[in-house]
Amino acid sequence: MKAKMTVNKTFKISEVDKRIYGSFVEHMGRCVYTGIYEPGHPTADAQGFRGDVLKLVKELNVPFIRYPGGNFVSGYNWEDGIGPVAQRPKRLDLAWKTVESNEVGVHEFMNWAKMAGAEVNMAVNLGTRGLDAARDLLEYCNHPGGSYWSDLRKKNGAEQPFGIKTWCLGNEMDGPWQMGHRTAHEYGRLAQETAKIMKMMDSSLEMVVCGSSNHKMPTYASWEAEVLEHTYHDVDYLSLHCYYGNQDNDLPGYLAQSLEMDEFIKSVAAICDYVKAKKRSRKTMYLSFDEWNVWYHSNARDAKNEPWQYAPPILEDDYNFEDALLVGCLLITLLKNSDRVKIACMAQLCNVIAPIMTAKGGPAWRQTIFWPYAHAANNGHGTVLTPIIECPTYEIKQKQHHGPDIVKEIPFIEAVAVHNADKGEMVVFAVNRSQEHELDFSMEFQGYGLADILEFKQLSGHDIKKTNTADDGSVAPSDGLAPTKDDNSVNAKLAPLSWNMLRVAVR
Ligand code: AHR
């Protein structure tokens, strides 16, 4: 079966903002404690951070990390995490019904992120707290010195300010589960005032305001419109969150969920543009898809969890091969929308719905979804080109809120090309959604002269339910069959159900 992608040098979507390959570290479950941080672990450094995990985070090449939550941030007192560790209070975290030891706070996390080579996207608590705590945290983190909070930071060991540029104005404030849940009007006003006073301290800061927790929320769309009515002039990004899953064990439908992500992004961009038009604004609102991933495997197990434990194993999804294929499709979708999506964070980084898993006191390993993320974050930089795809399709039925099911045509191929002018290479990411057919995939790069094929990696040939474990990392990429090429096109065989990355040197 044949498929074709044509790209043209002049048909550009956008430059990739590297923050599109962001991640997320929340104080929940074992993401921090026994995840990135475990004093006494054989690989731990003097601060208690695990060297084996840090090595994998560097391998992923994560450029940007949202912190410290998530639902956790809506009850968090950031001051609990500063000063001598032995004197820090243990607190009940009501979001996840766990005990937070505060061993890791802003200093420790900033040090760790620096070692990981990642910029931090700090969230402020607009749930149980508000303006005052937000401006104090900003002063503590970013002011050079000569004020109460900045001098306290110096006293606590950080002479230089942390220089945090991007800030989240709370988390999922539309959700009734959120501590301090608010209506769109209440949140819009609070977020606007918080952004305003934070920008009074530093007008170059970038602010992310909360959109809906997902597009199935009853207030979805009207929430975005009303929040932006209040905040449009003071914020820079609107957030989107969405988790995907194969609860129905329907592989064709599951792999089509990236098209839902695409529709969600385009709808939210349209809402932003509606508010832009209404306000006669010249500013474009960009999007921060700051929570996305597959999340469903651990739900049943988590329902039985005992409350008030320290670092319990919650949201520990064991990802299988089909999840890696969907994650690949989602990454391609984010790239295809890179004109609007400037920030995206895979939720989360370690143990909690994560590409990296650890055993307490034991090894760390790569989940299946690690691979498409690592390929994209390491190689998907430069200019995204508009992919014109010609390929066979399959049909799925989708339920609607009102009216009969609709039939949707799903292309077998999900693909995108990114031209990295600095490195002189063209990188293609492609998923073959077909279960039966190998695709003879021809890629035409109009306006480019092709030199050597540098790499063709493929993740394929596994049982769709196969996972990786501490002892078995066999869901891993291997070299695909050598592609053929002429002056401006390449032909590659995409195995049935495969994630593919092709790198070609271009002139
Ligand atoms: O990432 C896990 C949780 O999912 C986050 O805490 C919350 O923001 C979302 O509902």
Q: What is the mean pLDDT of residues 204-225?
A: 98
**C-alpha distances in angstroms, 395 versus 399, 407, 434?**
13, 6, 12
Instruction: Give pLDDT tens digits for 224-268.
Output: 999 999 999 999 999 999 999 999 999 999 999 999 999 999 999
Retrieve residue 15's tokens.
Answer: 């430059």
Does the annotation count 260 as an active-site position? no
Q: Is the CB of 171 under 6 A from ligand 1?
A: yes
Q: Is the CB of 127 under 6 A from ligand 1?
A: no
Catalytic residue among 139, 172, 224, 322: 172
pLDDT value for 402? 83
pLDDT above 70 coverage of the chain, percent: 100
Q: What is the mean pLDDT of residues 360-371?
A: 98
Q: Is the CB of 71 under 6 A from ligand 1?
A: yes
pLDDT value for 212? 98
Return the sign of the alpha-carbon dihedral for residues 267, 268, 273, 278: positive
* pLDDT-based confidence at residue 505 (cuts at 50, 70, 90): very high
Does the annotation count 316 as an active-site position? no
Ligand 1 centroid, distance to 98 Cα (angstroms): 15
Helix H or strand E encompassing 191: helix 184-201
- Atom number, ligand 1, closest to the C-alpha of residue 24: 1
In terms of Cα–Cα distance, which of 6, 5, 4, 11 is closest to 384? 11
Name the residue with the closest Cα to ligand 1, atom 6.
70
The reply to whether the predicted model has a pTM over 0.85 is yes
Ligand 1 centroid, distance to 428 Cα (angstroms): 31
Compute the distance between CA of residue 167 and CA of residue 67 in angstroms, rounded to an integer.
10
**pLDDT of 400 above 90:** no
Task: Work out the mean pLDDT of the chain and round it to a whole number.
Answer: 97
Q: What is the mean pLDDT of residues 423-433?
A: 98
**pLDDT of 175 above 90:** yes
Q: Is the CB of 347 under 6 A from ligand 1?
A: yes
Q: Is the CB of 323 under 6 A from ligand 1?
A: no
pLDDT above 90 coverage of the chain, percent: 98
Ligand 1 centroid, distance to 70 Cα (angstroms): 5
Q: Which residues contact 372 (CB under 8 A, 6 or more apart)?
A: 324, 327, 328, 331, 429, 459, 499
- Atom number, ligand 1, closest to the C-alpha of residue 291: 1
